[in-house]
Amino acid sequence: MIELISIVKKFGNKTVLKNIGFKVNAGEIMVLLGGSGGGKTTLLNIIAGLIKQDAGDVIIKNKLVNDVPPEKRNVGFVFQDYALFPHKNVFDNIAFGLRLKNLKRDLINRKVNKIMEMLNITELARKYIDELSGGQKQRVALARSIVIEPDILLLDEPLSALDPLLREKLRIEIKRIIKNTGVTAVYVTHNLTEAMTVGDKIAIFDKGEIMQLGTVDDVLYYPKNEFVANFVGANNIIKGKVVEFSEKEAVVEVISALKPVKVFVPKYPILEKKREMYFCIHPENILLGLKEHKNVLFGAVENIIPVLQGLRVVVNAYGIKLCVSVTKNSFNYKIGDKVWLSFDKNSIHPLCGKRSRLEGKKFPLMCIKKDAV
């Protein structure tokens, strides 16, 4: 439905998009995830035709649209600030795009009433924008973009202006609405939880490049490089080298440890004996105070950090600092206490250093866990 091929965009001497390429299939939601200044919004504007790329192609429904003006691309756009007309009521805001198409009044009324019913905003029809809450404005903006029956729906940080509780509720609702309409969508956010909730696929951006592209599970559990690992919270990163292979596993000697420490990992095809590389472990996959797995370390509690989900506990084990996620009720230690750590070998994943993964292509040396032997 959407294909981007080697998109490049420069503003002056600064390159903000560097050879961006991916496909979004019909009915899918692709999330562009990353911090500010990564080029995500610029890419949306290029897809919409609001900005012209310096190189590369935009293909929508198998048609090259590089020279097609925005109004003929049949793209809906939900802007970060909603871009609603304050002098028009809700009904007229939603009907705006339909009236530009010179549709008959009865047809416009039917379409607008149907979309308002779908989004549960029928009672707002005669209200003006300054009378609405943030969540209501978001629904109106979404209705205005969907009612024109676009081939593509673009959403630029649509929930960023809302409070956290409303954002959590609407991120689930917005995915349901998009899926019910069957529209193909590209959704920009800097929030990891939002990306995981909404997206079928995620492209993680940094400085105009795609660091990794894949399903939610691929990106979250099998990050390709240190940037992605830190971004998705797999921020226990250790450096080691393979010193031994067996039939199904490898032994890695941790280089940063103050004393000889070895950990067991699956026999990934990318591993080579004596080759130094980095590995990551999610904090959620480490057990605190238990020795239930083959990988067992001993250390001291160095820091305790309250988070919404409970506690993040930093343990120094032979110079290796590991962050562990625990619930507050299960934590019975204080800073300085000695403690055991353990984790399953399948929870440690190599960072293979590839900067992006384009659809339909594989790495020369696969490092995804499911491809390991």
Identify the residue with better confidence: 173 or 236: 236
Are 26 and 174 in a shared domain?
A: yes
Give the model's confidence band at 353: pLDDT under 50 very low, under 70 low, under 90 confident, else very high. Answer: low
Q: What is the pLDDT of residues 339-351, one digit of tens each?
A: 999 999 999 988 8
If asked whether residues 193 and 240 sit together in one domain, one would say no
Q: What pTM value is reported for the model?
A: 0.85
Tell me whether residue 27 is in a domain.
yes
Span 271-284, mean pLDDT? Answer: 89
pLDDT band at 359 (very low <50, low <70, confident <90, very high): very low
Query: Is residue 173's pLDDT more than 90?
Result: no
Is there a domain that residue 118 lies in?
yes
Look up the CATH number of the domain holding residue 23.
Answer: 3.40.50.300
Quote the distance between the C-alpha of residue 78 and its chain's center.
18
Supply the pLDDT for residue 154.
95
Question: Is residue 352 domain-resident?
Answer: yes
End-of-domain residue from the set 201, 221, 241: 221
Give the tens place of pLDDT for each residue, 46-98: 999 999 999 999 999 999 999 999 989 999 999 888 889 999 999 999 999 99
Looking at 178, 200, 221, the residue that finishes a domain is 221
Same domain flag for 212 and 250: no
Is 235 inside a domain boundary?
yes
User: Would residue 188 count as lying in a domain?
Assistant: yes
- Return the CATH number at 265: 2.40.50.100
Q: How far apart are CA 290 and CA 323, in angstroms?
A: 15
Q: Side by side, which strands form the sheet with 55-60?
A: 14-24, 2-11, 55-60, 63-64
Q: Is the pLDDT of residue 361 over 70?
A: no
Asked whether residue 215 falls in the same domain as residue 330, the answer is no
| CA gap 172, 176 in Å, rounded | 6
* Residue 236 sits in the same domain as residue 117: no
- Identify whether residues 215 and 117 lie together within a single domain: yes
Tokens of 181: 């309409």
Mean pLDDT of 362-371: 39
| Same domain for 261 and 181 | no
| Cα Rg, the chain, nearest whole Å | 24
Are residue 217 and residue 280 in the same domain, yes or no?
no
- Regarding whether 138 and 8 lie in a shared domain, the answer is yes
On whether residue 226 sits in a domain, the answer given is no
- pLDDT band for position 236 (cuts 50, 70, 90): very high
pLDDT for the residue 367: 42
In the listed set 166, 189, 221, which residue is the last one of a domain according to the structure? 221
> Are both 211 and 242 inside the same structural domain?
no
- Lateral strand order in the sheet of 29-33: 75-78, 152-156, 184-189, 29-33, 201-206, 209-215
- Report the relative pairing of strands 276-281 and 348-351 from DSSP bridges: antiparallel
Which pLDDT does position 203 carry in this prediction?
Answer: 96
Total tally of structural domains belonging to the chain? 2
Are residue 255 and residue 357 in the same domain, yes or no?
yes
**pLDDT for the residue numbered 356:** 33
**Considering the domain boundaries, does residue 255 fall inside one?**
yes
Q: Could you tell me which residue, 338 or 257, shows the higher pLDDT?
A: 338
Q: Domain check: are 248 and 211 in the same one?
A: no
Query: Is residue 315 in some structural domain?
Result: yes
Q: How confident is the model at residue 354, as a pLDDT?
A: 46
| Structural domain containing residue 267 | 231-371
Q: What distance in Å separates the CA atoms of residue 268 and residue 370, rounded to the nearest whole number?
A: 9
